[in-house]
Amino acid sequence: MPLLGFVEQLGLGAMVTIEVAVLSYLLALLVGTLFALATVRRRPIVNAIWQVYASIFTGVPSLLVAFLFYYAGSGMLASLFSVVGMRVNIEVNPFAAAVVALGLVYGAYIADIVRSAIHNVPPGQFEAANVLLIPRPTAWFFVILPQVLRLALPALSNMWIVVLKDTALISLIGLKEIMTYARLASGVTKEPFIYFILAAAFFLLMTGLTYLVTQRIEGWTGRGLRRAAPAREETARAL
């Protein structure tokens, strides 16, 4: 196959990598945010469920979780449906296994990030919402969560990069993403340097785009805030 043919396959693999990373991150963000909101206050049952979930998915490598979902996912789903008397045979493909595995693993980490950001919101914001008689869902959506986003954004952007890079491991369950095609092209052409460098350039490009987008979002979430001058500037002014 000509060189351009392999480059085209790398492009197709890159699109699959982006799809898996985006869907996994959205699932992790949803799961993490729900657990964070549910565990802000101490509820014995909810906290017990959270402890079990966090212990499992932070203690087991994401690749092993992907293997479990890929090879045993069909059996687990059949068992769940059999509880309600339904016989369902659902085949779990590598794409679905990758999305669910990465989403559940990193959902545990995002839950800690979002919960910490909630605790760092000034208590006066909650008190002001109560004094103004703002309905609780409205206060959370329009007052609290925007501030949580601003506080958690640096850690959330780093977590996105981690999820993106972990998609390279998922190629081991048969998902045809960029690393799969890079290995295939390297084996056929005996030029591993070229194709692995192209794969590395893709991840570096995505990291750079993440940095630019994060800067834009930080500017948007930081509107109206007075930022403290750096210590060096304060010292220079004092001198």
Please report the pLDDT score of residue 18 as a whole number.
Answer: 92
Whole-model pTM? 0.84
Task: Tell me which of 59-63, 192-196, 230-234 is least confident.
Answer: 230-234
Provide mean pLDDT across the span 38-47. Answer: 85
Residue-wise pLDDT tens digits, 53-94: 999 998 988 889 999 988 888 787 777 777 777 777 778 888
Decide if pLDDT at 4 tops 70. Answer: no
**Structure confidence at residue 5 as a pLDDT band (50, 70, 90):** low
Tokens 């595995």 label which residue? 101
pLDDT of 225 strictly over 80: no
Band (pLDDT 50/70/90 cuts) for residue 239 is: very low
DSSP string covering the chain, please? --HHHHHHHHHHHHHHHHHHHHHHHHHHHHHHHHHHHHTSS--HHHHHHHHHHHHHHHHS-HHHHHHHHHHHHHHHHHHHHHHTT--------HHHHHHHHHHHHHHHHHHHHHHHHHHHS-HHHHHHHHHTT--HHHHIIIIIHHHHHHHHHHHHHHHHHHHHHHTTGGGGGT--SHHHHHHHHHHHHS-HHHHHHHHHHHHHHHHHHHHHHHHHHHHHHTTT--PPPPHHHHHHHH-
Full set of structural domains in the chain with CATH: 3-225 (1.10.3720.10)
Residue 41: what pLDDT? 80
